[in-house]
Amino acid sequence: MSRVLLFAGAAPLALLAVNAPAFAADEAAAADAPVTERTSAGTGQSDADTIVVTARRRQETAQDVPLAISVVGGDHIDSTGSFNVGRLQQLTPTLQFTSSNPRNTSVNIRGLGAPLGLTNDGIEQGVGIYVDDVYMARVASSTFDFLDVKQIEVLRGPQGTLYGKNTTAGAINITTRQPTFTPEGRAEISVGNLGFLQAKAALSGPISDTLAARIAVSSTHRDGTILNVATGQKINEQDNLGIRGQLLFQPSDSVAFTLAGDFSRQNPRCCAQIYVRTGTTQRSLDRQYAALAALQGYGVPSTDAFDRVTDVDVPLQAKNKIGGVSLRGKIDTGIGTITSITAWRHWDWDPSNDRDFLGLPITTKSNNPSKQDQYTQELRLTGETGRLGYVLGAFGFYQKIHTNGVQQQGPAASAWLIKPSDALSKDPTVLDGLTATNDISLKNTSAAVFGQLSFKVTDAFTIQPGFRVNYDKKVGDYSSIVTNGAGQLVVFKTAAQGGNSAREKAQLAVLAPQQFNVRFSDWNVSYDLTASYDVSRDVHAYATYAHTFKSGGVNLNGVPTDSAGVPLLELATVKPETVNHFEAGIKTQFWDRKATFNVSIFRTEIGNYQAQVSNYTVGALRGYLANADKVRTQGVEFDFSARPSERFNIYTNGAYTDATYRKFTNAPCPPELSGGSQPVDASGNLTATPSAPGTPGGVSPLSCNISGQRLPGVSKWSFSYGAEGNLPAHLFGTDGQAYLGFDGNYRSNFSSNPSPSAYTWIDGYALSNFRLGYRTDNGFDIYGWVRNAFDVNYYEQLAVASGNTGLIVGQPGDPRTWGVTFKASF
């Protein structure tokens, strides 16, 4: 439950370990503290030794707040190059981020949040992402550059009794810098190898005595790290642009309204996963990768992924746009502070992918362009009287999503996807041009009332109960129409209709039509209780129990069918997850409050865990979204920081996380167990059940029991650490500080497949970053930096290519990068 605060500025980097449950430091942006200062919207902590948070919607000293959060200051984000959530995980050990493209992104905390590898609009993230109190329903927002950020807080554990949208695994709360009535500005430009160019600027100041404005822009470009030898182009590049504007109207000390609008877009040549290795499956040898590639005379340009080359033959595109408008109002009244946040958000996703991952025209299109609109309204009352503090809130959420997708097979598909013993595999026209056109939509309504009380039983002992009553409704429509290369419909035919020809059966085994409508609605009640005790002025202990839920969902990637191709609609809905969470911790300050050490233990049990399952006894081959019986994550977290003098500071924080499937008997099999007809694991750790006979393509896949196996993406051990030292210096005719900084992180090995596989374990790795620079008290800063200084080869993600051929693809992590940054502020 501990957090470490990394807060950098013109002064030496201050690293303070603190604990808090929610928003911190920026009163106007994130909290319901009274509006009392005309300049409060633009100010934050100036005293690095006393961190004021408003986690419980009132100002408190951070070390006194009995819940968990990791807080990273905006300047430290800049200095370490952590300009999006993917890079932020290097500073926060319990955060896991995986992304093969912005849509296919998962953000987890302590191993919980969203199943790895699932892209399904019908389920929700367990980790909420908020920007200035506005909930971001699309996890694609986490792939954008941070824009004019003051600080970021990563909360661990359920957060439903203080947040508008329910989140069972935690939340990432992003607080931007706010408009100020004192003129201020900042500018930053970074240049580096791989064509890296990043520019940021912000300007803030008064328009009148009651109106202030702020505008910020950010642009990032970097060449790709992988060469496509087929086109000569660098791919997996970065190309981001963002703009944000805010108006603050503050007619009195008790009233403030902030109108904000933002727009960001990405348009990189991205995103490719490249050949890593192959492994043996239970398919017949002539249906595994080596034989299939040899049959077509194909070889990848390199079998070493760290040569960073590929030959994918589909143009890559990852156009991603996100933006919106919000109005936040705060009014101080006799009974407390009333806060209202009204917001509209929009997301537009337009991709082009190569989903066979090879330079062969097997799958020539696999794209799911999506558009989403969301509307949110949150209303809170926060107050305090005597020994009682309170937060009461109501939240409404509505979103609609529309996806028009397409998958199309190419001339190499017949030889690759139909068994070689079948004469149809030698006829390219059987599958060439076979196309599934998908039309998918979702309407989602959610409403909740929530609250939390804080009662001081004695001066040292406090209890904090919370509650949430939540309603969710989802209405989904799924339609997939299949046509052959001649544009004719491909459908299931009954015996009365003469049945399907061998050619049609081969086509239906690859792409099958399906249409259905599905509805889901449910009420849920959550509650939690935290007890805290001040052992002394600098020693605080706390314990928390929370019972909560993750909303149920609907399957919008298709469901299994019966032998006649009729969708099994009982499998179209997914039960809510139920969560029981236990946590206890102690926080300490010592050495004249120049050092902190915090430690916590946690255990979270989830029933009906939402995951991808396989159940081939129900009909045609298909993995789909359903519920695993039970998942558990437990562990220990700690953080330590010390600032013995103004010239030096040091920090380290880490976590041991044991996250496993406790009972999951119908999981998709890993590739080494897939494609066979008999159970192969005699040890009992991975058992398998034969599928129903007659599976298309002559393959009898298995569903596997992976109970006891580790959840994907979770390292048992993870650490982040850093230090910075400085000396007085005189340069460019000014007095300042020369400084040397280091930050690093380590992750032990982790599984990169929903069902752990011998082929998809990612080895542990450590990354090291250095910076050397000079800064002055008047806001000038210049420093050189090198990231992944020792050029460590590591993978961000590995994946099993579809088709059970044994092909494993992945994304190599960034190589060593270096550059220089210039910053100025006033």
Residue 157 pLDDT: 86
Helix (H, G, I), strand (E, B) or coil at 294: helix
Task: Check if the beta carbon of residue 443 is closer than 8 Å to that of residue 477.
Answer: no
Residue 380 pLDDT: 94
Give me 595's structure tokens: 């050092």
C-alpha angle 28-31-34 in degrees, rounded to nearest 5: 70
Residue 51 pLDDT: 54
Residue 142 pLDDT: 82
Q: What's the CA gap between 762 and 776, in Å, rounded? A: 43
Residue 523 to residues 114, 468, 469, Cα–Cα distance (Å) = 21, 11, 7
Residue 637 to residues 233, 266, 603, 711, Cα–Cα distance (Å) = 44, 35, 12, 18
Task: Check if the beta carbon of residue 651 is closer than 8 Å to that of residue 638.
Answer: no
Burial environment of residue 359 by CB neighbours within 10 A (0 to 12, 13 to 18, 19 or more): buried
Residue 613 pLDDT: 74
The candidate with the shortest Cα–Cα distance to 290, out of 757, 806, 758, is 806
Residue 436 pLDDT: 96
Residue 663 pLDDT: 94
Residue 57 pLDDT: 54
Strand ranges for 19-176 from DSSP E: 52-53, 60-61, 69-73, 95-99, 105-109, 127-131, 134-136, 149-156, 170-176
Task: Check if the beta carbon of residue 464 is closer than 8 Å to that of residue 454.
Answer: yes
Pairing of strands 817-825, 781-787: antiparallel
Q: What's the CA gap between 132 and 151, in Å, rounded? A: 11
Listed in sequence order, the DSSP H helices in 307-432 are 413-417
149 forms beta bridges with 176
Give me 795's structure tokens: 């993978």
Q: Which one-letter amino acid corresponds to residue 22?
A: A
The candidate with the shortest Cα–Cα distance to 379, out of 391, 367, 363, is 391
Q: Which one-letter amino acid corresponds to residue 674?
A: S
Residue 54 pLDDT: 53
Q: What's the CA gap between 777 and 130, in Å, rounded? A: 32
Residue 515 pLDDT: 94
Strand ranges for 551-672 from DSSP E: 553-554, 573-574, 577-590, 595-614, 623-645, 648-663, 667-668
Q: Kindly give the parts of the chain with pLDDT less than 70.
A: 1-65, 117-119, 614-623, 676-702
Q: What's the CA gap between 361 and 232, in Å, rounded? A: 18
Task: Check if the beta carbon of residue 151 is closer than 8 Å to that of residue 176.
Answer: no
